[in-house]
Amino acid sequence: MEKSNFVDQIRIFCRSGHGGAGSKHFVRNKFTAMGGPDGGDGGRGAHIILRGNSNLWTLLHLRYYKNVLAENGEGGSSNNSSGRAGKDVIIDVPLGTIARDEETGKQEVEILEDGQEVVWIPGGRGGLGNANFATSTNQAPEHAQPGEPGLEGWKVLELKVLADVGLVGFPNAGKSTLLSVITAAKPKIADYAFTTITPNLGIVEYREGKSFCMADLPGIIEGAAEGKGLGHRFLRHIERNSILLFLIPADSDNHKKEFDILLNELEQFNPELLNKQFIIAISKSDMLDDELKAAIQSELPANIPHLFISSLTNKGLTELKDLLWKVLNQPVE
């Protein structure tokens, strides 16, 4: 079986650098037999830093990067010379990446902007040399600080796709076909369920050079919130989308029931998803006459905008883009 190039979660062991020890040293030369303290400070241990990179769309490049061990700081030396700080480790990640501690599950970092740098795991501070502890009553301190240890532990990097519009629907609802028609994306398309097993992103060109991003996400099945099918791996990507475009095929046995199942899976996974903007599109509608359209329309929720589209004939796609742009740019109440 061909391995996917889309990796949206990895587990790695991280250890930041230990701080260097401060020096306990006194001036000793041919002119000074019993000089004062001149021990320098230890260098800081290296940080582990996450940096956003808009050219990345997957965590694939980190798949075999199992151990991230940052450099220790150097110890201080005589003549008040400080030790060199450890060289920071910078890990490039795609936008939308979240870093968590595996043991506690706590979210530690979120990367949303290109070039954004966040110190994820700080290195230990270097210890102070004995020159820092000289006083009028203790002019020859025998004490210098050890460096602070770095931090270590198993961490999880998790990618949630950043897109303005997320396509939601059962497998084989026509999501990939729609994305291929209204964007330049070329997702795999075939007439069977679960053609899409990883998110595909495409840019929808709008009027006057404007554009927005649309994501074709793997299809929901009943029980997805409990981990069935692609389960949580799919649902977490929806959390980033401003609009959820529900795609229900015209040849569905029960359009309202299909929408209700999709809605229920979202609610079971995260009730906050119900606060997003919803739009319903009935796909493959080139096979419908006016009477069938009216029958389907009567089944759909009156408070959610809906329209009929056909990716095959391009019917309704201009109206769909107009509606998506309008909802994306409406003022927040």
Determine contact, residues 250/287, Cβ cutoff 8 Å.
yes
- Under the banding of pLDDT at 50, 70 and 90, the label for residue 157 is very high
Longest dimension (CA), the chain: 106
Residue keyed to tokens 């994305």: 179
| CA separation, residue 80 to residues 29, 126, 137 (Å) | 15, 14, 21
Say what percent of the chain tops pLDDT 90.
Answer: 37
Q: Which amino acid is at 194?
A: F
Interhelix angle for 175-182 vs 317-328, to 10°?
90
Residues in the chain: 333
Task: Please give the residue that has the higher pLDDT: either 33 or 231.
Answer: 33
Beta strand 117-121 with 306-308 is unpaired
Query: Domains of the chain, with CATH numbers?
Result: 1-159 (2.70.210.12), 165-328 (3.40.50.300)
- Under the banding of pLDDT at 50, 70 and 90, the label for residue 236 is low
DSSP 8-state assignment for residue 170: S
In angstroms, rounded to a whole number, what is the distance separating the alpha carbons of residues 136 and 276?
67
DSSP 8-state assignment for residue 128: P
Instruction: For residue range 84-139, list pLDDT tens digits in order.
Output: 999 999 999 988 899 999 999 899 999 989 999 999 999 999 999 998 998 888 88
What's the pLDDT at 47?
A: 97
| CA separation, residue 286 to residues 234, 257, 282, 309, 314 (Å) | 29, 22, 10, 8, 9
